Amino acid sequence: MEWKIGRKFEKMKKLQLTEGKLAYLLLIPTFVVLGVLALIPLMMTFGMSFFDVRYLIWGDFAGFSNYLKVFSDPRFVPALTHTLIFVGGSLAMEIPFGLAIALALNKAFKGRGLTRAAILIPWAMPTAVIAQMFLYMYNQEFGVFNAILGADIGWLSNPGIALFSCILLDVWKTTPFVALLLLAGLQVIPGELYEAAKVDGAGAWRRFHSITLPLLIPAFLVVLVFRALDAFKVYDSVYILTGGGPGISTEVLSTFAYSEYINSSDFGTGSAISVITFLCVFILALFCVRGMTRQVNY
């Protein structure tokens, strides 16, 4: 009997090893694609950041002079500041709006499935298309926003509100995605907890504060990771709406790098900005993942 059990255990162990090898074999195409599309360009960018590269012509080794040039550039600190403001402003609006939509979609009502699908349309649309749509709506003369408000606001020409206008576009497009993630978190909360709380006399606010919010923390952390990293790399919406202007009032790190790459043809400095952006995103990802790990362990 023990011999048979031992034989079965050995077969299971061999099967697990075979499945493990198969899994690695199936992942090889993914690793190859990631290497070609992500790793190789990343290494080339990192390499160019240490050379004097003009018009894609590699010159002399420049050491850290490109990085020193970036840090001493008066546009760098404003670009970094605008990027951080964009990330913070987007999250500050997307999370509460997304939570409100998720709570509404979590209720049972007729046509809920169709409503859930329709709410994702803004997120599924290309950012360039949405930016062009907002470009017309922000128009100072015939834009719909000024028509509704009965005002004459220069949404994209006023340095004081141009960045806020870019953030509004991002909020409109990405809030449905945040709502979807939070809705997934709501649906794993056991309904028995709410029933027990009702029996104990807890009101709607008490149930929301004591049950919903604490159990949604993992979902909030997922939203924070995805949205913070995505918002930090913002480029297309800002470039289409303002091009970084007026002046440099909406310039972010991505448009700053684009300006060095294309307008100045200084690929060495542009690569240095890209590497700095990558390092900022990497550090931000480490903090977010560390927070998620602590929450899971807790």
Instruction: Return the CA Rg of the chain.
Output: 25
| pLDDT > 60? residue 297 | no
Burial of 161 (0-12, 13-18, 19+ CB in 10 A): middle
Phi then psi for 50, rounded to 5 degrees?
A: -105, 10
Measured in whole angstroms, the distance separating CA 31 from the mean position of its chain's CA atoms is 23
Whole-number pLDDT of residue 2:
44
pLDDT band at 293; cut points 50, 70, 90: low
Low-confidence winner among 15-24, 93-102, 245-254, 273-282 (lowest mean pLDDT): 15-24
Helix ranges (H only) for the chain are: 2-34, 40-48, 65-72, 76-105, 112-118, 121-124, 127-137, 144-149, 162-187, 191-199, 204-207, 213-215, 217-232, 236-241, 253-258, 267-297
Strand-pairing partners, residue 61, are 51
Tokens of 257: 């790098």
Task: For residues 221-240, give the mean pLDDT.
Answer: 88
In 10 A of CB 150, how many CB atoms? Answer: 6
What sign has the CA pseudo-torsion 131, 136, 138, 139?
positive
pTM value is: 0.84
| pLDDT > 90? residue 56 | no
Cα–Cα distance measured from residue 36 to residue 222, given in angstroms and rounded to the nearest whole number = 28
Residue with tokens 């840090």: 71
| pLDDT > 60? residue 4 | no
Whole-number pLDDT of residue 278:
87
